Each structure stands twice: as structure tokens, then as C-alpha cells.
Structure 1
Amino acid sequence: MAGIVIVGAGQAAASLAARLRALGHTGDLTLIGDEPVPPYQRPPLSKGYLLGEMPLDRLALRAPAFWADQGVTLHLGTPVSAIDPAAKTVSFGPRTLAYDQLALTTGARPRRLPPALGGDLAGVFAVRNLADVDAMAPLFRPARAC
């Protein structure tokens, strides 16, 4: 039995994994995500996290021990490169993993402004993940009183 593989490691993936365990699923459960950190909240990225008011560890949706305690295997920092539905396998990095059931929880990508509207100008950002916010954070400074 190969178990359940969840592609994507965001809020939907974390909720699905927790719900499966809460409903009594005892088989293998694996999350595969392209970011190097476990599932975290995205709404605070452009608010508390960007402003330095919320540290990275507070963004986590679950305590680090949750994943091990619940028997959820995390493969982080490696995007899925192929899904073979006929063979029931997913490939990521140098690995191929079989599954009985597959859930795709990859979310969406922001639509960027076209260059003609300024999308390629310095200081125009798309915020989707930690890397996006970490890249723009040095450019933000507290406002000065006039």
C-alpha cells in the first residue's frame, strides 16, 4: 500500500493531512512542497511578517512536532516534476514515489502586471510566498514623521 500523497504544502495540504488523521486514516501520508519550510499562514506575509512584527515560527500552521507525531512525511524544498496517473507515481528531485490516492493542493500563482503597465518596474512585487516577502523586505523602511 503506497498511501496518500499530497502535492503542495500550504494551508490546504496541512488541513487535509490533519483531517485525514482526525478521521482515522492510519496509512502512509506524505506532503511534497517546493518551499523549504513546513506549511505556514500566507495572509500575515504582507502584514506582520513583512513589518517584522511576526517571526517566521509564528507563521507555522502546526508545531514542528505535529508532523512527526501524526506520521506525516514531509518532502520540502523540492517541486514535483511529474505525475504519472497510469503508474500512480509522482516524481520530485531524484525520487519517484507511488501513491494510492493523490491530492493536488498547489494553490495559485499571482497574475503579474504586464510590462506595458509597469509590471517590470523596480519596486513592483507579487506576494505569494516567503521568498517573495524576504526579497522585498529590505526595501521597506518605517515612515518618517513629516
Structure 2
Amino acid sequence: MKDMLNELMQALATDSEIQEIQQNEGFKSYVRRDELAKEKTSITVSPSGPPESVGFASNDSLSKHFIFQVSIEAVQREIPKNLQRKVEQIFKTMGFYQMPGGIDDYFSTTKRYVDARFYQGNSRLYDDDY
């Protein structure tokens, strides 16, 4: 069985700056690590729900549709912006594009800037093993 979340995480980990965040344990799926120091930058990738069947022919799904949220938190405002640009470029190579909405805010309780965006994309045709 294939795992689109894993494929996207592996693609993101090819970037040297994201690799550094990964080595500091700030690159995770679903939720930010509670133990991660407040001043450490984090990238969290979460599915917004299960894959949906799309592209039907003869009552069979030809592809799966995915929506993921990428949340980046840092103590400096520019860091999430620059990292989201990299995420967008990497996701684009995999057929994922940014959707409307998200979060661009400073959270006073955590003292971090948060930039969270949604990306959507489909698996390749005839590749609905997800």
C-alpha cells in the first residue's frame, strides 16, 4: 500500500534547510512535538481527511484526491514565509497546489509565528493504491 503523506514528507526532506529542521526533530506529521524547544522551527504536515476517490470510469476510481495542511512555526516571522515557498515548490513537482485559506498569525501564548497552508493534489491516474 502506498502512503502519500510519506511520499510528500520524503520529498520535503530533500531540501537542505528542511533536513536541518528534521535533524532537530522539528519535522513531523500530524502534531508538533511537545518536547521541542519553543525557539526551534517546526514543520508539521497533516492530512485534512482520508483520500477521496476521483476520476471515475466504469464505476471504478482512477485516482485519489488528497488535501494536506503544512504548518510552519518559528520565532522569526520571515522563516515560515521562506519555508512555505520551498514547500510550495516541492509540492508543485508532485502535482500539489496551494488552496485558499490557512493561517498567517503570531500566537502570543507560544511566542511563535505560524504560517499554515492547505495543498491539494491527486495521485497519478490508475494509481489508486492509497
- Indicate the structure with greater strand content: 2
TM-score (ref. length: structure 1): 0.25
- The structure, 1 or 2, with the larger RCO (C-alpha pairs under 8 Å, 6+ apart) is 1
Indicate the structure (1 or 2) with the bigger Cα radius of gyration.
1
